[in-house]
Amino acid sequence: MMSAHTAHRKLEGRVVIATHNAGKLREMKELLAPYGIAAVSAGELGLAEPDETGTTFLANAEIKARAAADVSGLPSFADDSGLCVDALGGDPGIYSARWAKETGDFPSAMGRITDMLSERGAIEPAQRRAHFVSALAICWPDGHLETFEGKVFGFIDKPRGEKGFGYDPFFQPDGHELTFGEMSSEEKHGIPADGSQALSHRARAFQMLAGKCLG
C-alpha cells in the first residue's frame, strides 16, 4: 500500500504514538528508536481514545492519527491491526480487539476462533489460513497524511509461547516453525540490515514507512 500522498514528508523530532495498547507501544518505540525519533504515547499525554468508526484498517489508523495530531499539535503515528481468518470470512479483522474484549481477553478470543474453525471442520493448516494486517498512518498537525499497510500470511495453530501480545501465540507465519508468541522481538519485527523483507505485518508496514519518511 502506497502513501496517501505522492510527495513524502520526513518525520523528525518528537512524535506521538497514538495508542493505549502497551504491546503496540513497545513494538512501535522499538521500530522508531534507530531513527532517533523521540516518542510519547497518547496514554502518557492523557489523550482520549477516539471512536474507531472506519470500515478498514487504514481508515481506523487515520482516525487515531488525526485525533492525536489535532489535540497534541505534534506529528502522530497510529497503527490499526488485526487478524483475518480465511475460513471465518476474514473475521475478526478490524474487530480483533473487540472480540478479545467481548470474550474477556485474548486467550478467550483465540479459544473462540479455534472453536469456530473446529465447527467448520477446519482442522488441517491449509484449512486454517490466516493473515495479520497492520495499517500505519502518520498525520501532521497541518493535516498532511502518510499511510502504509503490511501483511504477513500463515495459519492458526495451537497456542504456543508467551512472547508478543494479542493473537501472537496461535499464529504461525509461513516458512517458520515458531508462532509469533514464541519469537523474540528481534525475530518477529527486526528489520533486516540487508534490506530484505521484515517478517511481521507491523515491521513490513514500518519498513515501507521508513523508506519514505525516515532516515
At residue 12, the pLDDT reads 86
Closest CA to 54 of 62, 46, 43: 62
CATH of span 14-213: 3.90.950.10
Q: Cα(49)–Cα(46) distance, rounded to whole angstroms? A: 9
Least confidently predicted of 25-39, 121-135, 165-179: 25-39
Per the residue annotation, which of 80, 105, 115, 142 is the catalytic one? 80
- Using one digit for the tens of pLDDT, what is the confidence trace for 130-141? 999 999 999 999
C-alpha grid cell, residue 93: 479483522
At residue 26, the pLDDT reads 84
Give the residue-averaged pLDDT of 123-129. 96
Determine contact, residues 29/5, Cβ cutoff 8 Å: no
Task: Verify whether residue 80 is a known catalytic residue.
Answer: yes
- Mean pLDDT score of the chain, rounded to an integer? 92
The whole-model pTM stands at 0.89
Determine contact, residues 4/139, Cβ cutoff 8 Å: no
Least confidently predicted of 50-64, 116-130, 151-165, 179-193: 179-193
Bridge partners (DSSP) listed for residue 83: 132
In the chain, domain spans: 14-213
At residue 215, the pLDDT reads 65
